[in-house]
Amino acid sequence: MTDGHASSLETGDATALPEDVDDVRDALVSWYEADHRDFPWRRTDDPYEILVSEVMSQQTQLGRVVEAWEDFLDEWPTAADLAAADRSDVVSFWSGHSLGYNNRAKYLHEAARQVIEEYDGEFPRSPDELSELMGVGPYTANAVASFAFNNGDAVVDTNVKRVLHRAFAEIHNADDPDYETVANTLMPTGESRIWNNAIMELGGVACGKKPRCDEASCPWREWCHAYQTGDFTAPDVPTQPSFEGSRRQFRGRIVRLLGEHDEMDLDTLGHRIRVDYTPDGEHGREWLRGLLSDLADDGLVQIEEGNDQTIARLQ
């Protein structure tokens, strides 16, 4: 595989990439093509389907995303279907599948409306144009451009940073590594779809927080600074919030329970969603009212205050 990039990148006075950079590229792509995790969104180049997967994957484990992604596309197979949907139904789906941060559902719905009304149903193709869609930041825009249109820059997420930091000595030892420049120099021109999938797979399968170099047959062992030195430190990256015990987990439980019952009073609902619920305790009525208020703001839940009790029901 050859390309129009330079075969080396100057970082200060040091060369960050090996001289045989084409071999480095070929090794990674061959490794990926031989065997990789078969996520369903990797089998499509539909920008709508890829956008849904990217939004769902933000701070959510990929194993949990697969079922939600398939269910979402069963419900709204196209951008036009999603644009025509009632927003409260989209938010209800999001909360019911415990995907967290309901604003993402609102933004995704609005982005679909933009595609239909402002772009005549055709997704924009470049990262800059995709960034005009509601809730689509630079990373997501680049990912959609890469995976749908093979028209993106190198993806630089926490996994990719970890791979580059470990693999190349000059990055590993730099005070302020320029990951984006290195990543884009390394990526073959016009190969963003397979390259970004491949290097993200490397970070997810072989070069995770606990490296599995030999077990996963990492294709970069020959060049890797960490493999050669045993220094597998990695740059500090944000820790993904735990889903277990989170507010979004309990919001999802509330929506599911209210979907099964016409209505529930405050204390009955509280005892059903967590075993340590006590009306006047830390996780009691005040805490539960806060969750219900959030859901009411999202248009999902209706709260009725009576003389003796508070009743909650789905909108």
Do the Cβ atoms of 102 and 95 come closer than 8 Å? yes
**Which candidate in 54, 70, 191, 304 is catalytic?**
54
Q: Active-site residue 54, yes or no?
A: yes
Buried b (16+ CB within 10 A) or exposed e, 92-117: bbbbbbbbbbbebbbbbbbbbbbbbe
User: Which residue, chain included where needed, has tokens 């889903």?
Assistant: 243
Query: How far apart are alpha carbons 159 and 47 in whole angstroms?
Result: 23
Do the Cβ atoms of 273 and 257 come closer than 8 Å? yes
Q: Annotated active-site positions, please?
A: 54
